[in-house]
Homo-oligomer: A and B are copies of this chain.
Amino acid sequence: MGTKYQGSESEILALNAWIKMKRASNSIQNYINQSLENSGITITQFGTMEMLLHLGPLPQKTISQKMLCSPGNITLVVDNLEKAGFVQRKSNPGDRRYHLIHLTKQGQILVKRLLEKHVKNIVSAFSILSENEQRVFSDYCENLGKHCETKKKESNQ
């Protein structure tokens, strides 16, 4: 069951693709997040720690861009993670406009523990697609994302 919008075939196609993408995204997110229930940390906090684990110490700007949220939001997220002892702001003498956010040993232990179930859930979510279908799907998403970024820049000129 897709859109009820009365339009041309190409319109119906695109509207259905978009609504199904949103619903799928939502269902996947809800399913995956079960691995964070009762962990006491939020998705954004987990995403931040996961990033630091895999990419090493980062400035908040980078975190906010990759997490797709505002810098102000990351300030709060890092504040809370720092209070809990999972990350640490360390000064960066080379450029004093920003600090580098480091994962603490305690944060590393937590995120590694949660990551195991998290990855299992993602693999399980996508297992309905064959490996080749997953590759095709990734490519489609990549193309859609790039295309929209380009079009958005164009229209903002």
Band of interface residues on A: 35 or more
User: Residues of A at under 8 Å CB distance from B?
Assistant: 2-5, 7, 9-11, 13-18, 20-28, 30-32, 34, 54-55, 68, 115, 119, 122-129, 131, 133-138, 140-149, 151-152, 155
The answer to whether B10 and A123 touch across the interface, beta carbons within 8 angstroms, is yes
Pair B27/A145 contact, Cβ less than 8 Å: yes
- Assess the A144–B126 pair: CB atoms within 8 A: yes
- Whether A10 and B131, one on each chain, are in contact in the complex, defined by CB atoms closer than 8 angstroms, is yes
Given known contacts A125-B144, A128-B147, A137-B140, A68 and B22 CB-to-CB distance under 8 angstroms: yes
User: A22: shortest Cβ distance to chain B, in Å?
Assistant: 7
Residues of B within 8 Å of A5, CB to CB, are 54, 115, 119
**B147–A125 CB distance below 8 A:** yes
The answer to whether B152 touches A128 (Cβ under 8 A) is no
Complexed CA–CA distance, A141 and B4 (Å) = 18
Cβ-defined partner of A25 (8 Å) among B22, B115, B124, B131: B22
Q: Name the B residues within 8 Å of A34 (CB-CB).
A: 152, 155
Inter-subunit contact B140/A18 (CB<8 Å): no
In the assembly, what is the distance between CA of A136 and CA of B144, in Å? 14
Please tell me if the beta carbons of B125 and A27 are within 8 angstroms of each other in the complex. no
* Most-contacted residue by chain B among A3, A32, A122, A142 (CB, 10 A): A122
Which chain B residues lie closer than 8 Å to A136 at the CB level?
136, 140
A18 in contact with B144 (CB, 8 Å): no
Q: A155 → chain B, closest Cβ, in Å?
A: 7
